[in-house]
Structure 1
Amino acid sequence: MNRLPVEKRAQILQMLCEGSSMRSISRVADVSLNTVTKLLIDAGSACSAFHDATVRNVNSKRVQCDEIWSFAYAKAKNVPSAKAAPIGSGDVWTWTAIDADSKLILSWLVGDRDASAASAFMEDLKPRLANRVQLTTDGHKAYLTAVSETFGADGVDYGMLVKLYGSDPQAQRRYSPAKLIGIDKDLILGSPDLAHVSTSYVERQNLTMRMSMRRFTRLTNAFSKKVENHYHALSLYFVWYNFIKSHKSLKGLTPAMAAGLVSSPLEMSDVVTLIDQREGPPKKRGPYRKRVDTGAADEGNLP
């Protein structure tokens, strides 16, 4: 099995996290589109396992949660009439939880925007925390049951930020939300500090996500064609965001460094190492044999 050099693979992964499309990467890096796709899948699998094992026992004070919309293959309303739509097509929501101080993405989930997804999201978030936190979410009602059932009445200080928008007679023809006219801060569980009932940091991270991954760009054909590849792109992105990308607000540290998970930033070549560790040493190709009838070369294993 042939492998690209570490530097070439690191370049491709870096471009995937910097907003380049897969086809542009194949042209710039002079590799096939299939090579870029396979590398994304391999990196996504390795990064998902790395995040799950590493982002644990985090000492956090304030956690903010939000959801960001995208779609795979076709928007939900167009899936019934889409030709050969694969399983998972339609609207895709990415749930994110961020530590307000270190800017570390603690947990994330790809799925629908329903009660079952909210419960799964909270169940993944809780064991990653080392202590009681103040939790803030937006006004999505699915959070109410999910938070109370996961953390219990005495396990979290939970506040909900509800944004109030004015009416818009042409809401269906706009690409931006209606005018924000106010906010409500609701105390749901425990004793949250009203001054810190906010979703500003997680919403800003969602903007970074939309700018850093081509498949999140609106009004283009750069959307994900398969929900599996959407998941792999997010797995790679969150490791890049947490462990590799230095943040100006953290004085050049990465969120993982600010949270005390690592002592130095990782490099994209470290992600390549994670991939190679999962795959093991490269296997040799089988010998060639010739077809007697045509004389053409055919790759395969000799008996």
Structure 2
Amino acid sequence: MNRLPTEKRAQILQMLCEGSSMRSISRVADVSLNTVTKLLADAGNACAAFHDATVRNVKSQRIQCDEIWSFAYAKAKNVASAKAAPIGSGDVWTWTAIDADSKLILTWLVGDRDASAASDFIADLKPRLANRVQLTTDGHKAYLHAVSQEFGPDGVDYGMLVKLYGSDPQPQKRYSPAKLIGIDKDLILGSPDVEHISTSYVERQNLTMRMSMRRFTRLTNAFSKKVENHYHALSLYFVWYNFVRSHKSLKGSTPAMAAGLVSSPLEMADIVTLIDQREGPAKKRGPYKKREISAQIAD
């Protein structure tokens, strides 16, 4: 099995995290589209395993949760009429939980925006925390049961930020949000500090996500064609965001460093190493004799 040099694979992964499309990467890096696709899948699997094992026992004070919309292959309303739509096509929601102080993404989930996804999301968040936290979510009602079920009545200080929207006096415009007229801060469980009931940091991270991954860009044909590739892109992105990318608000540090998970930032070459460690040593292709090739053709 032939492998690209570490520097070339690191370049491709960096471009994937900086908003370049897969076809543009194949042109710039002078590799095939299949090579970029396979590298994304390999990096996604390696990064998902690394994140799951490393982001544990996090000492945090304030956690913010939110969901961001995208779609795979076709929007939900068009899946029924789409030609050969693969399994998983339609609307795809990415749930994220961020530490307001270190900006660390503790956990994330790809799925629907329903009660089942909310339960799975919060169930994965809780064991990653080392102490009691103040949790803030938006007004999505699915959080109410999920948080209560996982943390119990005395395990978390939980507040919900509910945004109130009014009707727009102008004719409705496509992709134009309604006017925000107010905000309610509801105290749900424990004793949350009202001043810190906010989703500003997680919403800003969602913007970074949209700008860092081409498949999240609106009104383009760069959307994910398969939900599996969408998952792989997110797995790579969150390791890059937590462990590689320096943040100005953290004075050049990474969220993982600020959270005390690592002592120094990772590089894209380190992610390539994770891929190689997961796959094992490269296997040489065996020599083929002419008579073997002739036999295969005859068959």
TM-score range, shorter chain: over 0.9
State the secondary structure of the residue aligned to 1:80: coil
Give the drift of 1:175. Answer: 1.1
Counterparts of 2:285 and 2:269 in 1: how far apart (Å)?
Answer: 25
For each residue in 1:139-198, what CA deviation from the matched residue of structure 2 results, as whole angstroms up to 9, or x when unmatched? 000000000001000000000000011113678632131111110000000000000000
Q: Distance in 2 between matches of 1:224 and 1:189?
A: 38
CA distance in 2, matches of 1:175, 1:298: 56
1:159 and 1:222 map into 2 onto residues whose CA distance is 36
* Deviation larger for 145-154 or 164-173: 164-173
* Structure 1 match to 2:89: 89
Structure-2 separation of matches of 1:70 and 1:172: 22
CA deviations on 1:275-298 (whole Å, 9 max, x unpaired) are: 000000000102112148xx8797
Checking the alignment, whether the CA contact within 8 Å between 1:171 and 1:178 is kept in structure 2 is no
Where does residue 41 of structure 1 map in the other structure? 41
Query: Using the alignment, how far apart are the partners of 1:147 and 1:224 within structure 2?
Result: 30
Task: Report the residue type matching 2:159 in the other structure.
Answer: G
- Equivalent residue number for residue 195 of structure 2: 195
State the one-letter code of the partner of 1:176: S
Distance 1:71 1:172, change over 3 A: farther
Partner residue in 2 for 1:217: 217
Q: Give a deviation string over 1:57-114, Cα, whole Å, max 9, x none.
A: 0000000000000000000000000000000000000000000000000010000000
Aligned counterpart, 1:144: 144
Matches within 5 A, 1:165-180: 165-168=165-168, 173-180=173-180
Q: Which residue of 2 aligns with 1:71?
A: 71
1:9 aligns with 2:9: yes
Q: Mapping of 1:1-303 within 5 angstroms?
A: 1-168=1-168, 173-291=173-291
- Runs (5+) with no aligned partner, structure 2: none
Distance 2:231 2:254 in 1: 22
SS of 1:233 mapped into structure 2? helix
Structure 1 letter corresponding to 2:266 = L
SS of equivalent to 2:59: coil
Q: Report if aligned partners of 1:62, 1:99 keep a CA contact under 8 Å in 2.
A: yes
Q: Which moved more, 1:189-198 or 1:169-178?
A: 169-178
Amino acid at match of 1:266: L
CA distance in 2, matches of 1:131, 1:257: 18
Any idea what the Cα deviations from partners look like across 1:193-252, whole Å, max 9, x if unmatched?
000000000000000000000000000000000000000000000000000000000000
Distance (Å, rounded) in 1 between the aligned partners of 2:171 and 2:226: 29
What is the TM-score with the length of structure 2 in the denominator?
0.97
State the alpha-carbon separation in 2 of the partners of residues 263 and 212 from structure 1.
25
AA of the residue aligned to 1:21: S
Contact 1:73/1:225 (CA < 8 Å) preserved in 2? yes
Per-residue CA deviations over 1:124-148 (Å, capped at 9, x if unaligned) read 0000000000000000000000000
The count of residues paired between Structure 1 and Structure 2 equals: 297
In 2: Cα distance, 1:298 partner to 1:54 partner: 47
For 1:175 and 1:81, the matched residues in 2 are separated by 23
2:79 aligns to what SS in structure 1? helix
Q: Which amino acid aligns with 1:191?
A: S
SS at match of 1:288: coil
8 Å Cα contact 1:290-1:298 kept in structure 2: no
Letter in 2 for 1:232: H
TM-score, scaled relative to structure 1: 0.96
For 1:76 and 1:24, the matched residues in 2 are separated by 28
Measure the CA separation in 2 of the matches of 1:11 and 1:57. 32
| Secondary structure, aligned partner of 1:144 | helix
